A and B are shown apart, each in its own frame.
Chain A
Amino acid sequence: MTIYLPIAELSVNIFVILGMGAAVGFLSGMFGIGGGFLITPLLIFYNIPPAVAVATGTNQVVAASFSGALSHLRRGSLDLKLGFVLLFGGLTGSTAGIFVFKFLKNLGQLDLIVSLAYVTFLSVVGTLMLIESINAIRRSRKEGGAAQARRPGHHNWVHRLPLKMRFRRSKLYLSAIPVVGLGFFIGLLTSIMGIGGGFMIIPAMIYLLRIPTNVVVGTSLFQVTFTTAFATLVQATTNHSVDVVLALLLIVSSVVGVQYGVRVGRRLRGETLRAGLALLVLAVGIRLAVGLFLTPTDLYSVVTHGLGFQ
C-alpha cells in the first residue's frame, strides 16, 4: 500500500514508514532520546530527499519526545526546573546555530563537516558511556546490590562554580552555568546537525552534572521537545521542507512505540540502560564511519535542482 508525499513529491510504502516510526519511537522511549540521529539516516536511506528527511525527522521527534516527557512527568521522573534552565541555554544555542550553519555552508563542504561531527561525537560519547556502564554493571554484580555510577559526594570542578540553584527533584545543589552552557552547546548542534541531541545531553547530564539517571531521561525529553519544535518552525519557514503526511505517519507510529519503550526502560537498571544506549550510539557512529571510509558502491550521484522542495 503506497501513499504520495506532497512535499517530498514521491510515493512510499505506508508500512515501511510506520515500521520505522514504531522502531525509533520504542528506542526513544526506552533511552530518553528523541531519535533524530536514527530517523533521519533511515529516511534518507529510503530515498526521501535529505532536506525533507532532516526537517520531517525533527517534527517526528517533537511528538515522540513530548509523549515520553509527559509520561515521565506523571511518574515524577522529570525535573521541570532543571528542564527550563537547560531550555534557556538550548533556545539561545539553536538561534546562534542557524548563523553558524550559514557560515559553514558558505565555506563549502558542509556535508563533510556534519558527517565528521556525527562520527566524532557518536563514537567518543558511545565509547565513554560503554566503558563506564560496563564498570558499573561489574561493580553492582560484585556488591550484589544496586550501585549508582558515582555517589553525589564525588564533586568535580563543575560543582565549584557560582550561581548555585537547588533542583529538588534531582536532589542537587548545582551552578546554573554548566546547565545553561550544556543546553547552549546542544542547541547549537541541533541547528547544525539537525538532531535533538538527546544522545549527547544524557551522558553529559549523568557524568558532568552528576544528575541521577532516572531523572535525566525525562528531563532530556523535555528539553528535546522544545528544541526540535523550534527547529521544525525554522525548517518550515526557511526551507519549506517539512512533509506533514510523512510526519503524521511517523508521529502516530512512534507515539505508540515510545509508550512501550518507556515501560521496558522502567524495568531496566540505570547502568543496563546506559550500556544499551552506548551500544546504539556506537553502532550508528560505526555505520556512519564505514560510509565515510569504505569505497561507495556508486561513486556518482545525481541531484535535480528544484525537485522535492524549492
Chain B
Amino acid sequence: MMWRSALAGAFILAAAAHAFAQQPTDTDKNPPADIELGISTSEIAVRSNFSGADITVFGAIKHADPMTLALGQYDVVVTMEGPKLETTVRKKARRAGIWINRYSLDFLPLPTSYSISSTRPIGLIASEPELRRLGIGAENLRLRPSSTSGGSIKVEEFEKALLRIKEQTDLYRSDSAGVGFVSSTLFKATVRLPASVPVGTHIVHGYLFQNGQFVAEKQLAVHVVKTGLEQYANTIAHDEAFLYGLFAVFVAAFTGWIGSLVFRKD
C-alpha cells in the first residue's frame, strides 16, 4: 500500500512538474541540468620530495531536478588526462635463439597518464557505446595507430598490451568510488597524479549522467610544472649543455678528491 501511494505521489508530482513546465512564463526557470567544476589550484609544483599527489576536484550539479536527485539517478565521472605524447609499443620475438624487439606499433599522441573516478563503476553509469562515444575510461580512449614495422601485426593485441603496461606502472588508474556527494548537489572527486607524472598540461573532465544518459560536460586545465632547482637544472641541461656537462664532471671529480682526502689515513 505504501508503495502504491508513493508511486501515486510521484505521479502527481511529475504531473504537477509537467504542468508547471508547460506554463510559458516559467520555461527560463527550468534549464537543463549542468555540471560545475572547481579546483583549489591550477598549478601543481613538482619539488624534490614529490611522490605523486591526490588532487581533489569539487563540483556541483546545477539546475538539478529534485526528483532525480532524490532518487539518486545522477552520476558523476571525473577524469584527468596527462599531456598527449607519441607512444610506441614493441613486441619481442625470437630470432636465431635471441629475443629481440621485432614488431612495433606507433600511436599518434595519446595521454601519458589517465586517472578516472566515478560515483559507481562506469559500466553501470552508461552503456558501452555511450562511454565509447564520449571517450570515458582507459579502454575507450581513442588510440590511433599510425605506423607499424616488422610485418603484419594484430593492432588489438598491441592496444591491450599498452593499457596493461600503463596500468601496471600506475600511469592509468580507475577508482569506481572516487566521487562522493558532500550535499545533495555538491560532490567531491579525487584523482591521482602518479609519481612518474609527466610535466605539462593535464586536463580534468567532469561528466554528468542522468539515468544513464549523458547530460553535460566541463573541463579544467591543471599545469604540472617543475619549480626551483628542478626547473633550473632542466633548463641548464638543455640551454647550456656543455657547461652543464662540465659542471657534472667537476662535481664528480671534486667529490672523488674529497673522498680520497677524507679516507687518506690508513
Contact surface of A with B, Cβ cutoff 8 Å: 2-4, 6-7, 9-11, 47, 59-60, 62-68, 70-71, 74, 109, 111-112, 116, 225, 229, 232-238, 240, 242, 244-245, 247-248, 251-252, 255-256, 258-259, 263, 291-296, 298-307, 310
Pairwise interchain contact B257-A67, C-beta atoms closer than 8 A: yes
Determine the distance from Cα of A67 to Cα of B259 in the docked complex, in whole angstroms. Answer: 6
Interface pick from B56-64, B131-139, B235-243: B235-243
Distance in Å: Cβ of B41 to nearest Cβ of chain A: 18
Pairwise interchain contact A306-B248, C-beta atoms closer than 8 A: no
Closest to B228 in A: A6
Determine the distance from Cα of A296 to Cα of B155 in the docked complex, in whole angstroms. Answer: 21
Q: Indicate if B207 sits at the interface (CB-CB under 8 A).
A: no
Determine the distance from Cα of A298 to Cα of B168 in the docked complex, in whole angstroms. Answer: 12
Considering only residues 213-265 of chain B, those with a C-beta below 8 Å from chain A are 226, 229-231, 233-234, 237-238, 241-242, 244-249, 251-253, 255-260, 262-264
Pairwise interchain contact B258-A255, C-beta atoms closer than 8 A: yes
Number of contacting residues on B, CB 8 A? Answer: 62
Pairwise interchain contact B195-A63, C-beta atoms closer than 8 A: no
Q: Indicate if B126 sits at the interface (CB-CB under 8 A).
A: no
Pairwise interchain contact A11-B50, C-beta atoms closer than 8 A: yes
Closest to A13 in B: B51
Q: Indicate if B205 sits at the interface (CB-CB under 8 A).
A: no
Pairwise interchain contact A301-B257, C-beta atoms closer than 8 A: no
Pairwise interchain contact B233-A303, C-beta atoms closer than 8 A: no
Contact surface of B with A, Cβ cutoff 8 Å: 46-52, 85-94, 97-101, 112, 158, 161-162, 164-166, 195-196, 198-199, 226, 229-231, 233-234, 237-238, 241-242, 244-249, 251-253, 255-260, 262-264, 266
Determine the distance from Cα of A183 to Cα of B51 in the docked complex, in whole angstroms. Answer: 44
Pairwise interchain contact B266-A263, C-beta atoms closer than 8 A: yes
Using Cβ atoms and an 8 Å threshold, which residues of chain B touch A232? 245, 248-249, 252
Pairwise interchain contact A233-B249, C-beta atoms closer than 8 A: yes
Pairwise interchain contact B98-A251, C-beta atoms closer than 8 A: no
Pairwise interchain contact A229-B249, C-beta atoms closer than 8 A: yes
Using Cβ atoms and an 8 Å threshold, which residues of chain B touch A306? 85-86
Pairwise interchain contact B246-A10, C-beta atoms closer than 8 A: no
| Contacts A6-B230, A305-B88; A237 near B258 (Cβ below 8 A) | no
Determine the distance from Cα of A59 to Cα of B250 in the docked complex, in whole angstroms. Answer: 10
Where chain A touches its partner, the secondary structure class is: helix
Determine the distance from Cα of A199 to Cα of B199 in the docked complex, in whole angstroms. Answer: 39
Interface centre among A7, A47, A68, A238 (most CB of B within 10 A): A7
Pairwise interchain contact A244-B241, C-beta atoms closer than 8 A: no
Closest to B160 in A: A300
Distance in Å: Cβ of A249 to nearest Cβ of chain B: 11
A-B contact sample (19 more), CB < 8 A, given A70-B260, A247-B251, A300-B162: A7-B233, A10-B195, A63-B259, A67-B255, A70-B257, A233-B246, A237-B241, A244-B248, A255-B255, A255-B258, A256-B263, A258-B256, A292-B98, A299-B92, A301-B92, A302-B165, A302-B166, A303-B90, A305-B88
Using Cβ atoms and an 8 Å threshold, which residues of chain A touch B49? 2-4
Pairwise interchain contact B241-A66, C-beta atoms closer than 8 A: no
Distance in Å: Cβ of B151 to nearest Cβ of chain A: 15
Using Cβ atoms and an 8 Å threshold, which residues of chain B touch A244? 233, 237, 244, 247-248, 251
Determine the distance from Cα of A306 to Cα of B87 in the docked complex, in whole angstroms. Answer: 9
| Contacts A251-B256, A259-B260; A59 near B241 (Cβ below 8 A) | no
19 A-B pairs in the complex with CB atoms less than 8 angstroms apart: A7-B234, A9-B199, A11-B51, A11-B52, A62-B253, A229-B253, A235-B245, A236-B241, A236-B244, A244-B248, A248-B255, A251-B255, A252-B255, A256-B263, A291-B99, A301-B89, A302-B89, A303-B90, A304-B112
